[in-house]
Structure 1
Amino acid sequence: MNDARVLVVDDSAAMRALFSDVLEQQRNVTVIGTAANADEARDQIAQLKPNVVTLDVEMPGMSGIEFLEELMATNPLPVVMLSSLTQSGTETSLKAYALGAVECFPKPLKATPEQFAKTVGKLGKIVLAAANSNVKAQKSSHRESRHSEVQFTWNGHYLAMATSMGGIDALTQMLGDFPAECPPTVIVLQSEPALVDTFINRMAGELKCKIAMAKDGAALTPGMIHIAADPEKHVVFEPGSPPRLRMVQRDPVDGARPSATLLFGTMARAGVPSVGAILTGMGGDGAKGLRLLRDAGSRTFVEDPATATVGETPAAAVAANAAEKILSLDELSVALVASCNQG
């Protein structure tokens, strides 16, 4: 694993000092410089050669989004966006992901000291993961579905996926391939709930199938994607005709809530025909559960750690021998739909 050499870019001197101090407390993370605007950042990047940049969205002159677009077009680097705008789950954050930001991190502007410490404590781990991420050049947020002419008839398999860091961009690319009567799908997405709300609202206008935030009692039927992102509740699979989702309040499982391992495990115990997948992400949530699914006879897929935006979670799944197949994101999209298709 590479150490993180970070350039902190923020127009506020107080914020530069705060985030620099937070990051310096993380093992294997070093702040090598700071910048107050895009011009300073451009010079510092050329001189200091950081392998991660934290970038404020709101800056005088060239905005953070504009500088991100320039950076990804000319000198792609792992970028973590830092702004109050990311906290409210705005279109700005989704644009940052589309342009190539590895993660969008909320500035805890209105928080108790305890909440503040908990929030910023995550930043060091995120930056370290970003330093070891696979940065892609600027990509279009819209692309034509490859399955527009493929006849799809659901074969009775339920689909469950898990993703976290880098996941919104991966899902934006993948879900466009899902047919109108897609398999009943549950996705554990570890991200800011407000940002997930904005993501769902945008995707609802672009997908052929339906998409919504996971709710207690929701029936798992074809044509619907359920996104579980509530950090206060797990999502589990309840057998029945049709099966339903249950949102349960329990302690985190291996530090995660909602826990993909818990979701996968309840599906494995139910013995229903299932397909499981793990995409880009930080940490190891879902690896144990995906192994349970595989042992129960389900088909299991993992995004290739070598090409995933953040390969930590896929690598954990591979190490747990949970993957029937290891595929690129494009290959994975095709395989998941095919595994749930009678055709």
Structure 2
Amino acid sequence: MPVKYFVGIEGGATHSTAIMVDHEGTILAELGNQPATNLWALGMDQCAILIKEVMTRVMIKGGLSPDERLSGLGLCLSGCEDEHSNERFRDILTKIIKTADSISVASDTKGPLAAATESGGIVLIAGTGSNCLLTNPDGKDVRCGGWGYLLGDEGSAWWIANKAIKFYMDDEDQFVKAPYDTTFIGEAIMRHFNITVRSNLLQHSYQRFEKAFYADLTSKVAMGAKAGDKLCLHLFELAGDMLARHLIAVSPKIDKALYESRFGLPIICVGSVWKSWEFLKPGFIKTLQLDTSNPKLSKFSMLKLTVSSAFGAACIGCKEFQLPRKYEEIVQVFYSFPPSNTRG
């Protein structure tokens, strides 16, 4: 059988990752830290040009000529939530990229699920932004979130950072007292934004606003949580609550068959905020009522991918057949419920 090549690109609001695989599922090349590819932030035309550039770079890294024929190009991008818009974007891509037999466009929530399972489950993203997607075995989707920082992103790094700043600002103004001392948060804000007075936050919140940089304040909040700062711990507990609420929102539509796998309902957790699971966990457990006799979800496992989400995008780009996958090597359980199955 002639070798078939597939490229998958996973694009978030901060950066993108590209991967090239062959028809046996072997990863031939991977590129991280590529430009962000949110079509609503960039515009469809500019986003399409960037996609072609990233695709070309990963092909060259994998030893192919940029003119080599691809059997499929799979794109799982932030902002691609509407099929009508995705179809418009696909039309633009086909005019620019003429070396791919097929081009598939889907939300960034689709990639992790495609990599981790063929039967469905939930993807819960908590990176710079947040999003939740339930896919049932019949292929039908149910969503919660994914509306961006003005309309949503609850539980995300941006949300935690913004909440931290609001606690500090309101407390300093004696407008609303913060639930805990704001000293650590205040100092972290000054260091992160390289400012000495609160009023200088205005430039970072308006004319010099950069969502990814703003959200990165959360890494300092995580440091505070590790050091035991009560306000930092409280912020992550609130974020855990918000992420759990995403699951509650889609739970009435979960097909019962998804609970019957070895680990119960699979929940694929994507994004840097999950690195602070130990601090998210109290709020998450409380909101899902996992410490009561009436939990909101009866049996589930929280999984993290050991491969890039771009691998899932490549899987989506395969129209003719399923890429071979060794699931025991692709996912890792970090928490499961009931407690008898808990690993974290």
Q: Tell me the TM-score normalized by structure 2.
A: 0.28
* Structure number having the greater helix percentage: 2
The structure with higher relative contact order (CA 8 Å, sep 6+) is: 2
**Rg (Cα) greater in structure:** 2
